[in-house]
Structure 1
Amino acid sequence: MRDALINQWKYVDDLSMAESRHYLEPSSMQNELDGFTDWSRNNHMLLNPDKCQVIIFCFMKCPPPPPVLTINGLPLEVVPITLLLGVWLQKDLKWETQVTRMIGKANGRLFFLRKLKHFNLPTQDLVTIFTSFVRPVLEYCAPVWHPGLTCAQSDRLEAVQRRAVRTILGRHFTNYEQARKNLNIPLLSDRRRDLCFKFGTYLERHRPSMLPPKGSDYHNRTTRNCDKYRHVKCRTDRLRNSPIPYVVRLLNA
């Protein structure tokens, strides 16, 4: 990783380092941090420990104490929630914070939609404003968090679109289903599923190593399932509802 960075000239805005290990194995993260600290110093950059955080994902009933990680001798803060490239990660890998933040930001943008409604903009212009200015907030990085949503969280996201549709139609609003059909606006859950499927087709073309092998990779026989990906064995719902197993199910379907 450090060698790859040495040969590039760019502004380093954000860098994340990850380690996956058995709880009995010693952590090598401190050695990586020390090496990256030395590289930064040699290239006339300084790391700010106050802006660096540590988040630990461990699902043991009695988790071991986390390793103390330092930069320049200063310990790094261990946090339960962190922001990574616009996505809020929780240490339990649930998405309540992500959903709450998206809804809050989208509701703020609905304020402008309501203001524009008072100027009697055409309905189609209001729909365009919603689909290009508000809805993307509710779909950012959907393939990452959509498979792990609860029904209640999905309903909360859909409620934002329901309020937008009611605002656009005003007194002509009767019910949500009919309003969506009149405005040609699909359910957010359907759009998120389509975005996950598009992400899967992207992986097929450009990152096939991230997907499990197909049946044809194991044998040369032509069978009904030879073009389908091997099932990802999941011992927990947490893994089953993670992006790759979910995308594999979509591609096989």
Structure 2
Amino acid sequence: MDSTVATVETFKFLGSVIPQKWVTHINSIVKKAQQRLYFLRQLRKFNLPQELLKQFYSVIIESVLCTAITVWFCSATKSDIRRLQGIVRTAERITGAPLPTLQELYSSRVRKRAQKITLDPSHPSHHLFELLPSGRRHRAPNTRTTRHKNSFFPQAILLMNS
């Protein structure tokens, strides 16, 4: 039963590429989103109403951009975020309507996830969302490193308190 576990560069799990560095996952997101922009352009050529184009974007492209966003967004580089935001800007030009930025999508997803955790006492991370004595704000965790400060739980508490 003594076997060695091989180290791999990437691992695909539930549709997300889990890499040693998030650039691999972001590259796959960019590729998928660009492929789907083609269909958005085709729909625009058929003169679909703006509302339908926005719905198509939300369901088909935004869902790809937000795959596991609560996990990888804080670890992504500025250039990776710019590449992804470029897809959003391209979709805005095609639809002719303003669309939420990647930062807004991340913030809303983190806030929703954190609220679910706070409402579920059986969740393993429920104890991390401790309320202050006032009962209105959550206690911010002590963090020593920037990496920890930018991870999910401190960001979730910051977003919930704002």
| TM-score normalized by the length of structure 2 | 0.84
Distance 1:234 1:123, change over 3 A: same
Per the TM alignment, residue 236 of structure 1 is displaced from its structure 2 partner at its CA by 2.0
User: What's 1:200 paired with?
Assistant: 114
Amino acid at match of 2:67: Y
1:27-176 correspondence to structure 2 within 5 Å = 34=1, 70=3, 76-91=5-20, 94-169=21-96
Identity %: 26
1:230 partner SS: coil
Distance 1:215 1:130, change over 3 A: closer
User: Which has the bigger relative contact order, CA under 8 A and spacing at least 6?
Assistant: 2
Residue ranges of structure 2 left out of the alignment (5+ in a row): none
Per the TM alignment, residue 208 of structure 1 is displaced from its structure 2 partner at its CA by 5.1
CA contact (8 A) 1:126 1:168 kept: yes
Structural RMSD (CA): 2.3
Per the TM alignment, residue 196 of structure 1 is displaced from its structure 2 partner at its CA by 0.5
Distance in 1, matches of 2:83 and 2:156, equals: 23
Residue ranges of structure 1 left out of the alignment (5+ in a row): 1-33, 35-68, 170-178, 217-221
Distance in 2, matches of 1:155 and 1:129, equals: 22
Per the TM alignment, residue 232 of structure 1 is displaced from its structure 2 partner at its CA by 1.8
Tell me which structure has the larger Cα radius of gyration. Answer: 1
- Residue 249 (str. 1) matches residue 158 (str. 2): yes
User: What's 1:212 paired with?
Assistant: 128
Of Structure 1 and Structure 2, the greater helix share is in 2
| TM-score normalized by the length of structure 1 | 0.56
Amino acid at match of 1:203: I
Aligned residue pairs total 160
User: What's 2:100 paired with?
Assistant: 186
Per the TM alignment, residue 149 of structure 1 is displaced from its structure 2 partner at its CA by 2.8
CA contact (8 A) 2:118 2:129 kept: no
Amino acid at match of 1:99: I
User: What's 2:147 paired with?
Assistant: 238
